[in-house]
Amino acid sequence: MEKHTNAAARQHGRPGRRALLGTAAALGVAGAAGATAHAAGPGRGHRTPGGRFRGSSVLITGGTSGIGRATAIAFAAAGANVGFCGRRADLGSRVEREITDAGGEAVYIRADVRSAEQTRDFVDRVAARYGGIDIAFNNAGIGGGGPLHEMTPERWDDILATNARGVFLALKYELPHMLRAGRGVIICTSSSAAEQARPDGAAYTASKRAVQGLVKSAALAYGPQGIRINALLPGTTDTPFVRPPGIPDADWARYKEAFGPLNVEGLERMAEPGEIARAVLGLASPDFPYMTGASVAVDGGAGAGRRLVHPARS
Ligand SMILES: NC(=O)c1ccc[n+]([C@@H]2O[C@H](COP(=O)([O-])OP(=O)(O)OC[C@H]3O[C@@H](n4cnc5c(N)ncnc54)[C@H](OP(=O)(O)O)[C@@H]3O)[C@@H](O)[C@H]2O)c1
C-alpha cells in the first residue's frame, strides 16, 4: 500500500500546499501552517521556514477517519511528512491522496494496532521512509458500551486490545527510534470519558484510563531521554465515532444543536475534529517544552461541569 514520496511536491516545492491549507481550514484547523517556528523535538532549537513542522516526521495511528484524519491533514499542511495507519485501505488511500494531491507529503500503511507485528512494521516503515520519528500521535480507538453483565468477554477484549494494548504496542515500537535520536514527542488519545464515566461505558472508560496510566509512567521513564509524552482527552467530537451511520445531515445538525447546551456546560457545542487536531499540533510543538505526563482535556468545558443528558435522536 505504501507508495513513493510525492515526486511533484519534492520537485516543485509544494505547489498545492495552498490547497492543503484550504482543506485544513475547512476542517477547522486554521493556523495549521503557522508562520515560522521551531521544529518539533525538544532538542531542536533552530527555526525552519515554510510551515511550522516542515520536514518533521509524524506518525499517526487511526488516520483514516475523524480526529486522526484531521490531524494528518493539519500536520501535512504545516509541512510535516506524515505516515498514518488504519485498517480500512480504501479510506486510507483516500486521505493519502487528499494530502498528496494538494502538495503535502503523506503515506498510508495498512496496519491493525491490535497486531504487534503489523504495528511494528508500520512504525519501522514510517521511520525508514522519513528518517526517524519526531512526533507520534497514538490515536486509534473504538467505542463500545452496554451494561457490563451483557458485555461479552470478546467485546471487552477487543476494546482493551485496541484502545489500551494498541497504545502500548505503538509506544513500544516508537520509543526505540526516539531513544536513538535522543528526542521525540508522543501524544496519546485518551478521552474525557476517562474522567467522567457513564453507567454503560465501563470498558471504554477503563481502556482510556489505561492510556492515562501508560502515559504517566512512560513520561517518567523517558523524560530524561528527551521524550515528552502526554495524553489528550477530547470531549465529544463530530466524527463517525459519534455520528450514527446513515443519519441525514439535517437530522444530525439538529441533534448537535440540542446536544451542545445539554451536555457541554461551557462552550455548549461538540468539538469539530480540526479543533482537536489543533490541540495535537500545539502539544507537539516546542510551545510546551515543560509539559509531559499530563492529561490535557480539550472538551469545551464539559469536564468542568456535571451535565450529562442526551437529547432524543429525531
Ligand atoms: N469522537 C469523539 O467524541 C471522541 C471523544 C473522545 C475520544 N475519542 C477518541 O479519539 C480517537 C479517534 O476517534 P474518532 O472520533 O476520530 O473516531 P473515528 O472517526 O471512528 O476514527 C477512529 C480511527 O481509529 C482507527 N482504528 C480503530 N481501530 C483500529 C485498529 N484496530 N487498528 C488501527 N486503526 C484503528 C480507525 O481506522 P480503521 O477503522 O480504518 O481501522 C479510525 O481511523 C479514538 O481513540 C477515540 O476513542 C473520540
Phi, psi values for residue 160, rounded to 5°: -70, -35
The pLDDT tens digits for 37-46 are 333 333 333 3
Residue 161 CA: nearest ligand 1 atom is 31
User: What is the per-residue pLDDT for 312?
Assistant: 57
Query: Per DSSP, what are the bridge partners of residue 233?
Result: 297
Q: Strands, E, within the chain: which ranges?
A: 37-38, 47-48, 57-61, 81-86, 105-110, 135-138, 184-189, 227-234, 295-298
pTM of the model: 0.88
Q: Is 204 a catalytic residue?
A: yes
Name the superfamily (CATH) of residues 16-304: NAD(P)-binding Rossmann-like Domain (3.40.50.720)
Report how far apart the first and last C-alpha atoms of the chain are (Å, whole number). 40
Query: Per DSSP, what are the bridge partners of residue 237?
Result: 271
**Cα–Cα distance, 313 to 245 (Å, whole number):** 13
Torsion-angle region of residue 144: left (phi > 0), alpha (psi -120 to 50) or beta?
left
Residue linked to cell 510543538: 285
User: What is the per-residue pLDDT for 307?
Assistant: 61
The pLDDT tens digits for 244-253 are 999 999 999 9
DSSP assignments along 41-68, one per residue:
STT---EESSSTTTT-EEEEES-SSHHH
User: What is the per-residue pLDDT for 305?
Assistant: 81
User: What is the per-residue pLDDT for 309?
Assistant: 60
Q: Which residues of the chain have pLDDT under 70?
A: 1-50, 307-314
User: What is the per-residue pLDDT for 141?
Assistant: 98
**Cα–Cα distance, 54 to 82 (Å, whole number):** 11
To test the ligand 1 pocket, which listed residue (126, 142, 160) has its Cβ within 8 A of the most ligand atoms?
A: 142
Residue 162 CA: nearest ligand 1 atom is 31
Considering only CA atoms, which residue is closest to atom 42 of ligand 1? 62
